Amino acid sequence: MSNRLAPPRSIRRRLLIFLLPPLTALMLVVVFVDYRAAVLFARTTFDQRLTDAALLIATHVTVANGELHAQSLAQTPPTLGIGRDNDLRYSILGPDGRLLAGNPQISPVPPSGTNPSYADALLGDRGIRVATYRLTTGAGVATVNVAGIDDSRTGPVHFILGSTWLIGFIQLDITLLLVWLGVHFGLKPLVIVRGQIEARSARELRPLELSAAPAEVRPLVAALNLLFEMLGEAARAQRQFVADTAHQLRTPITGLLGHLEVLMREPAAMALHARLAALHDGMSRLATTANQLLALARADPSASLADKFESVDLKVLIERVLERNVDRSLESGLDMGADLRPAQVSGSARLLEDLLGNLVDNALHYTPAGGHITVRCGSDEHGPYLEVEDDGVGIPEAERARVRERFYRLPGSPGPGCGLGLAIVDEISRLHRADLAIDGGTNGRGTRVKVQFPVTGALVLPPKPRSRRQETETPVST
C-alpha cells in the first residue's frame, strides 16, 4: 500500500516549489521598495548636508560700508566634522552676481518656493548636486551656493541596494528553511498514520488505533476507519451474494442432472436416449460454466477482501485436490502423479483450491489417454511454488498470453469448455501476488504451468534432506 501514498519528502519538495515563485516575487517587491526608500533617504540626507554647509558659509558673509564682503575661505567650505567634507565646493555671489568668494563654476539654482533650493548640475564632466541659500542683508541678497559630487550621494545608495539584495536572499532562504522544517514536523503525525497503514497487508481492514493517533490527525484516522468498515461490509455483502448465487444455481442444476440420469435409465425413454444424452451434456456444460463463473467472482479482489489470508500447506492442498480427481484420471486412462515437498504460503485456501482445481481440470481435459500429469510443490530461491505439468496437446507459444483472457479458447480445442479456467488461475495468482508462467512440458511436449509465490508474506518450510530415490516422482495411488 506504500505506493499509494506520496512520501513526505515529495510533499515538502512540491510545497517548496509552489512557494518559491511568490516568495521570490515578494522579495523583489521588498527590495524595490527598500531601494526607493534608500534613494529618498540618501537624497534627503545629502541635501541636508549641503544645507548645513551653506548655512555655515553664510556666517562668513559680512556687511561693511554698505557693501557685502566674504571672509577669505579655502576652495572647500569649512569643516562640518564629517570626513567627506572635502568633496564639497562653494561660491558666494553678491546682489549683482559678482563673485565674492569660492569657485566661479558653481552657479546658483533658480529660485523656488523653498530656501535653500536644490538642483542637479554638471561640474566639468561630473554630476553634482547644488544647494543655493539666499541670505538677505542690509546691502542686498547674498547667494551662497554649495555643490557636492554626485558620487557622495550614489555611493550609499548602491551600498544600501546591495545590502538589501543580500538581506532579501537571506530572508528568502530562511523562510524556505522554516517552511521546510514546519512541513517536516507538521507531517510527523501523518507519517505515523502512514506507518500504521504500511505495516498491514493490503487486505487488512481492521480499524486503526484512534487513541494512539495524534490529535491533529484523529479526524483523518476516524474517516479512514469508516472507509475500512464500509469496504469490509461491501466485501462481505458481495461474498454472501456469490455464496447465495452458487447455492441457488447448483441446487436446481444438480437436481436436473439427477432427474435426467434417472430418466435415461428408464426403458420407456430408450427412444429418446440420444436427445436426453445431448440434454445431459448441455446441462453438464452449464454446471461447469456456472461453477467457473462463481469461482471467477470469488477471485475478484473486491469480493475476497473479507477473506482472511492464513498459512496454507500446499502439500495438503494438492493431496486433497488430487484425491477428488483420481476416479476421473482412471476413467480417462491417465497416469496422474505428484512430487510434493514441504511448502507453505500465506493465502486463501478456498481460492488456492480453485486455482489448483482448474489447472488439474485443464490437464485432465487436454491430455489424451495414456498421457501423464504431474503436480509439484516446493520452494526454490524465488519462494514457494505450485506446478502442474502434462504431456498433452500443449499451448502454442504465441497463444500463451491470450489463454489467460476470459472466454478465450484455442482454435480447434476439443470438448466442451468456456475459456475461463486459466483466467481464474491468473486472477487468483494476482490476488496472491504470485507470478503465473505457462511453458512447454518436458522435451517440448504438453504444458507446464507454474505459480511462483513471493517470499515476502509467505511462510516457507525448508525442504528436508532427500535421498536420490525420494527425488523421483511419487505417483498418487490410482
Closest CA to 426 of 302, 306, 299, 312: 299
Q: Is the dihedral of CA 151, 153, 156, 161 positive or negative?
A: negative
- Given a cut of 50, the residues of the chain with pLDDT beneath it are 1-5, 79-84, 457-478
Q: What is the pLDDT of residue 73?
A: 64
What's the start-to-end Cα distance of the chain, in Å? 46
Burial label, 333 (beta-carbon count in 10 A; 0-12, 13-18, 19+): exposed
Output DSSP code: residue 453. Answer: -
DSSP letter assigned to residue 321:
H
Instruction: Find all residues with CB under 8 Å of 96, minimum gap 6, and list them.
Output: 140
The 10s digit of each residue's pLDDT in 410-422 is: 776 766 666 778 8
The predicted structure's pLDDT at residue 410: 77
Q: Which helix (H) or strand (E) holds 255?
A: helix 218-264
pTM for the whole thing? 0.48
d(CA 157, CA 40): 9
pLDDT recorded at residue 387: 93
Residue type (1 letter), 177: L
Kind plus residue range of the DSSP H or E element containing 474 = strand 474-475
Please tell me the distance from the alpha carbon of residue 87 to that of residue 155, in angstroms, as a whole number: 13
